[in-house]
Amino acid sequence: MLRLLRTSIVYRSAFIVLGIALLVGSFFALFSYQFSAQSEQEQANQRMHASLSTVESTASIACFLLDQNLASELARGLLKNGDISRVLIFSGDKILAEASKQLVQNQATPVVTMQPEAKAPGQLEQEIFSPFNAKEKVCNIRLDPNMEFIREQSASKARFIVYLLLMQALVMASAVVYVVLTMITRPIKNISDRLHTLSPEAGDKLGLPDGNEKDEIGQLVRDVNTLVANLLTTLDEERSLRIRHAIGEKKFQTIFENAETGIFQLNFSAELLSYNPAFLRMFNLTDAHQRGNISNVLTLMLEGQELRLHLMIDAAINESKVMSDDFYIQVGGSSQKKWINLVISPAEDGVLQGLANDITERKLKEENANQLAVTDHLTGLNNRLGFEKEIARLSNEHENGYAQGFFLLMIDLDKFKQVNDTYGHTIGDQVLCHFAHIATSTVRKSDFIARLGGDEFVILLQNLTHQSKAEEIAKKIISQASQDIVITDGVSVKIGASIGISYTDPQAFDPNELLRRADTAMYDVKRSGRNAYRVVNLEGVDTTQLS
């Protein structure tokens, strides 16, 4: 039963309706019972008053004459009323007649003195006056109610009313249950049973219950059919979208696997989450790498440039925009160097997506173009633009506190104009190339050489603080430059080199002053006889060890 009440709306609704009906019926039945009992007692009292009114005239004569027989007859007559259990007729303290249900008096009661007694509940007493003088009291009649009879009568009527009310409640409840079952729960249960076997994909629909075509249940069936139809439409659309998504995903997977561009995903910590084969090829990662953990390979490849990568990631996250930058990497040890362009954009769920393109060829072309712009086409040395860029770089290092002291050698070739005028520009060009070779072979690879124009050269001896070492280099250049230069068989020329040397320390760097002093020293050499060097006056600096 409990299981049916929990699982069946039919039984549950019937049980609830019947329960409420019985509860309400019981309440009203109890109220009716009490009201009926009280009403019956009031009616019994009214009947006793009516009986007294009927015998009042006869009682007045009996009491006036003190006729006990007549009084006794009167008492027995009143006792025939079922509501009365005892009749007492007395005058003063003398009893004229007494009768009760337990002992009925068939003869006159001798006149006795009445003993005082307590008044019984519901007891009725009336004064009787003389028939000849309405103001002269001749006796009293006292009636005791028959409470058992009255209670039995009231209970009988009350029970009838209670049974009638309960029967009415049961009938009404049964009618309500029947109506609910036939018009509400049974159609709903039929709809529920039909839904269990409904096949929407086959086009099945719920049928409208008979008699419910225009009411709420009919509307419910129509709404369910509409919902099923919409659901089928949605499922068809989803199926179509899923098919298109699968096709698109397959196409994307094909592109992902076969693209020449490296495609990858990474998290906010720059750890790789996924990548395509092109990414592995681009970074020269082997199967051994693939089998291992390569989540941190990107930061390892960009060693020394990790900060730029993390700044790109932060900007992509915080500013929600696509970030791009170029990185220089070494793959396969130091044998292969590449330029890689990384593009990073935010995706979702803490993931960023990226593209990697090999731009080595473009970068090399840019570097070659830049190199051509700063290279002297005749000697292969740096030109004036290259020298200006190097001075700017050194100046920037000094401003940032990273600079070292260095020497600047300003060189002008002696007698070059005569060679040029005598043998022509072709021979002059060969002489310039010969001197460029002398300078290159004399200084360190870390030093900087440039041809400023014509026969004027400049050398930067970087990170050098020994004046003696600078003078030694100047002597070698002068010695080798002053030797005969064999151009062709039987043709040789002879030049020299005048060199001005100036020094700058890490604390004070003035490019213009540095050049001016070196140039002044060089012209001092030329005026003094050429083919020599001169160091400008370096105030406060030891001539052996500079710091």
- What SS3 class is residue 412? strand
388 and 531 share one domain = yes
- Residue written as tokens 């070059």? 416
181/97: higher pLDDT: 97
Q: Lowest-pLDDT range, 23-32, 315-324, 388-397?
A: 23-32
380 and 492 share one domain = yes
pLDDT score for 545: 34
- The domain boundary residue, chosen from 118, 152, 186: 152
pLDDT over 90 at 27, yes or no? no
pLDDT over 50 at 544, yes or no? no
356 and 436 share one domain = no
Using alpha carbons only, what angle is made at residue 49 by residues 44 and 51, rounded to the nearest 5 degrees?
95
CATH number of 344's domain: 3.30.450.20
Name the band, by pLDDT with cuts 50, 70 and 90, for residue 501: very high
What's the mean per-residue pLDDT of the chain? 82
209/72: higher pLDDT: 72
- The domain boundary residue, chosen from 332, 364, 396: 364
488 and 424 share one domain = yes
Bridge partner list, 266? 272, 352
Residue pLDDT, tens place only, 163-204: 887 787 778 777 877 777 777 777 777 777 777 777 776 767
193/72: higher pLDDT: 72
Q: Write out the DSSP string of 94-116.
A: EEEEEEESSS---SPPPPEEPPP
236 and 345 share one domain = no
Domain assignment of residue 500, given as a range: 374-535
Residue pLDDT, tens place only, 416-428: 999 989 888 889 9
What whole-number distance in Å separates Cα of residue 85 and Cα of residue 101? 5
Number of domains in the chain: 4
Name the band, by pLDDT with cuts 50, 70 and 90, for residue 520: very high
Residue pLDDT, tens place only, 195-244: 777 777 676 777 777 777 777 777 888 888 888 888 888 888 888 888 88
pLDDT score for 502: 93
Query: In 3D, which of 524, 542, 545 has the Cα closest to residue 533?
Result: 524
pLDDT score for 26: 77
CATH number of 387's domain: 3.30.70.270
pLDDT score for 541: 40
